[in-house]
Chain A
C-alpha cells in the first residue's frame, strides 16, 4: 500500500513555477529520497505533503488523507523535522519531549525516544547548552515522540560535521528498521545513496529521474577509463570498455611502455546526478 501518492502536483509563487507537475509514490516502510539542488522544489514538495502549504493543482494523498484539509487525526500519525527550527532554550531535553508527548493520543515512552536519538546523557540539560548536532537530534526525538507511521526529514544533516552526519545516518537507518516510512530531502548525493531505497531527482520543479540508487547509476552504461600518457591525464568514456582496453593495452605492449595510473570506473551516482543536472542547464 502507498503511504504517499502524488500525481501531477503543481505549485506557483506568483509567476515562479516551483513545481511543474510532479508524480511519485512512496510505499509503506520505504525510505524515499528527494534529491536536488537548492531551489529545485524539495521543500515546497515536502511542505505540501506535511500540510503547511496549499497546492495549485494535482492529487496528493498521505496516509489516506488530503494533507491540505487534514486535521489532528492526520497529525497523530506524522512526525516532522523542519529544515530550520529551534525549540525552547530554557527547557531540558526531557521536558521538551514530555511537552510534545502530551499532544498525542498514544505517545512513545519519552525515555526510550531520548535513548533512541542518543541524548540519554543530555536528558536533563537545558536545550540552550546543546551543540548544533544535539539540537538536531532533539528535533528528531520530538518528531518521533508521537510514534508516527511517517516521518518527514527536510535536509536532516545540512551543516553537520562528518561524524555527526554518520551518526544521523545510523539513526535514520534505525527508524527504517522500526518500519517507519521516511521521506527525506537532501542535496547530498552520498546521503541519498546511503539512506534511500528509492529516490527522485528534482530540478526546477520537475522530476528528471527516479529509481533505486542502483537503477540510477545503471541507467548510464558508460565506463570511464583513465590513464597517463606522456605525463598527460587522459580520460575516455566508452560504452565498449572491453574493446577500448584491448586496444590500449595492445598499443602499450607493442611500444613496451606501461599504462601509468590506469583506472576503470563505473559512474557513481554523483556522476549521473551531475550529468543529469548539467543536461538540463543547457
Chain B
C-alpha cells in the first residue's frame, strides 16, 4: 500500500509535468468539445446537441486517455529502458502497473469533471443525475480501454510510430461510434463496423444515463460486450506485454 501510494504520487507528477501528455491526452478532448458545441446546434437523439456531444466526448476521452494515452506512456517507457530499470528494484511489477492504471483513471476522472463544468459554462448543460451509474459505467469503460491499451503495446515496435498508430485507431473509432455526432445517416457498412467497437457500448451506457435517465444495469448488453472486450484485452496483454526494449 505504501509503495502504491508512493508510485501513484510520482505517476501524477510525471503526467502533469509532461506537456505532451497534459495537452494531447488531457486537454485535447476538452478543446474538441468546445469546438464541436460551437458549430453544432439543434437536437441530437431528442436532446440539445451540446448534451449529446458532451456524452460523446466523455466516451472519446475514455478511449483517448485510458487506451491511447496509457499505451503511449508504456511504449515510451519500455523503449527507453525505464520499465526494465524499474524491474531491478524491489517495487513489485503488479504494484507498478496498478499505479500507472489508477493514475490514468484519475486523469480521466478530472477530464470528465472538466467536461461537465465546461458544458455548464458554455451551453448550460445539466449536471449528471444518476451519479453511481455514471461512475460505474466510466470505471468499466476506462478499465476496458486500459486493458486494450496494455494489449496493444506488444504490437507497437517503436515510440516514433506509436501516437500515429493509436490515433489511426482511436479517431475513426470515435467517429464511427458517434462520439462526434449522430451516426444514423452513415452508410450501413460503417455503422456495422461501429457496432462491434467497445466505444459504441460505452457511449450507449453514458447516453442512456445522461440523456435518458437510465441506470447502469438497464443496459446488460452494453455491459456484456464491454466486459468481453476487457477480457480479450487482458488475455492478449498477458501474452504480449514486454518490459524490455526491442533488441538492437
Asked if A85 and B85 sit within 8 Å, CB to CB, the answer is yes
Shortest C-beta distance, B4 to chain A (Å), equals: 11
Q: Which of A52, A80, A88, A103 contacts B82 (CB 8 A)?
A: A88
Which of A3-11, A71-79, A170-178 touches B? A71-79
Which residues of B have CB within 8 Å of A52? 84, 87-88, 244
Which residues of A have CB within 8 Å of B90? 72-73, 75-76, 103-105, 146
Instruction: Give the docked Cα–Cα distance between A50 and B92 (Å).
Output: 15
Q: Which of B13, B14, B84, B91 contacts A85 (CB 8 A)?
A: B84
Asked if A80 and B14 sit within 8 Å, CB to CB, the answer is no
Q: How large is the interface on B (under 10, 10 to 19, 20 to 34, 35 or more residues)?
A: 20 to 34
**Is B41 part of the contact surface with A, judged by Cβ < 8 Å?**
no
Chain B 1-28, CB within 8 Å of chain A: the 1/0 string?
A: 0010011001001100110000000000
For window 89-103 of B, CB contacts with A under 8 Å fall at: 89-92
**Is A263 part of the contact surface with B, judged by Cβ < 8 Å?**
no
Asked if B89 and A82 sit within 8 Å, CB to CB, the answer is no
Shortest C-beta distance, A24 to chain B (Å), equals: 21
Q: Interface residues, chain B, CB within 8 Å of chain A? A: 3, 6-7, 10, 13-14, 17-18, 80-82, 84-85, 87-92, 244-245
Most chain B CB within 10 A, of A50, A73, A75, A103, is at A103
Shortest C-beta distance, B97 to chain A (Å), equals: 15
Shortest C-beta distance, A85 to chain B (Å), equals: 3
Asked if A84 and B85 sit within 8 Å, CB to CB, the answer is no
Shortest C-beta distance, B6 to chain A (Å), equals: 4
Asked if B89 and A104 sit within 8 Å, CB to CB, the answer is yes
Instruction: Give the docked Cα–Cα distance between A50 and B244 (Å).
Output: 14
**Is A206 part of the contact surface with B, judged by Cβ < 8 Å?**
no
Asked if A90 and B88 sit within 8 Å, CB to CB, the answer is no
Which residues of B have CB within 8 Å of A102? 3, 6-7, 10
Which residues of B have CB within 8 Å of A103? 3, 6, 89-91
Instruction: Give the docked Cα–Cα distance between A102 and B13 (Å).
Output: 15
Main secondary structure on A side of the interface with B: loop
Which residues of A have CB within 8 Å of B92? 71-72
Asked if A87 and B85 sit within 8 Å, CB to CB, the answer is yes
The residue on B at minimum CB distance from A51 is B88
Asked if B88 and A80 sit within 8 Å, CB to CB, the answer is yes
**Is A100 part of the contact surface with B, judged by Cβ < 8 Å?**
yes
Q: How large is the interface on A (under 10, 10 to 19, 20 to 34, 35 or more residues)?
A: 20 to 34
**Is A129 part of the contact surface with B, judged by Cβ < 8 Å?**
no
Residue pairs across A and B with Cβ atoms less than 8 A apart, 15 shown, are A51-B88, A52-B84, A75-B88, A82-B84, A85-B84, A86-B80, A88-B14, A91-B14, A99-B10, A102-B6, A102-B10, A104-B89, A104-B90, A105-B90, A146-B90
| CB within 8 Å: A-B pair count | 61
Which residues of A have CB within 8 Å of B244? 52
Which residues of A have CB within 8 Å of B13? 91, 95
The residue on A at minimum CB distance from B83 is A85
Instruction: Give the docked Cα–Cα distance between A137 and B84 (Å).
Output: 18
Instruction: Give the docked Cα–Cα distance between A52 and B91 (Å).
Output: 15
Most chain A CB within 10 A, of B13, B14, B90, B92, is at B90
A78-B88, A102-B7 known; 13 other A-B pairs, CB under 8 Å?
A52-B88, A73-B90, A76-B90, A85-B80, A86-B80, A86-B82, A88-B82, A90-B17, A99-B10, A102-B6, A103-B91, A105-B90, A142-B85
Shortest C-beta distance, A195 to chain B (Å), equals: 22
Shortest C-beta distance, A264 to chain B (Å), equals: 46
Shortest C-beta distance, A14 to chain B (Å), equals: 13
Shortest C-beta distance, A141 to chain B (Å), equals: 13
Shortest C-beta distance, A145 to chain B (Å), equals: 9
Asked if B89 and A146 sit within 8 Å, CB to CB, the answer is yes
Asked if A85 and B10 sit within 8 Å, CB to CB, the answer is no
Instruction: Give the docked Cα–Cα distance between A142 and B84 (Å).
Output: 14
Asked if B17 and A91 sit within 8 Å, CB to CB, the answer is yes
Most chain A CB within 10 A, of B6, B85, B88, is at B88
Which residues of B have CB within 8 Å of A95? 13
Asked if A90 and B18 sit within 8 Å, CB to CB, the answer is yes
Chain A 240-267, CB within 8 Å of chain B: the 1/0 string?
A: 0000000000000000000000000000
Asked if B81 and A84 sit within 8 Å, CB to CB, the answer is yes
Instruction: Give the docked Cα–Cα distance between A152 and B7 (Å).
Output: 24
Which residues of B have CB within 8 Å of A85? 80-82, 84-85
9 residue pairs, one from A and one from B, having the closest CB atoms: A85-B81, A72-B90, A80-B88, A102-B6, A86-B80, A103-B89, A103-B91, A75-B90, A90-B17
Shortest C-beta distance, A67 to chain B (Å), equals: 11
Which residues of A have CB within 8 Å of B88? 50-52, 75, 78, 80, 82
Shortest C-beta distance, A72 to chain B (Å), equals: 4
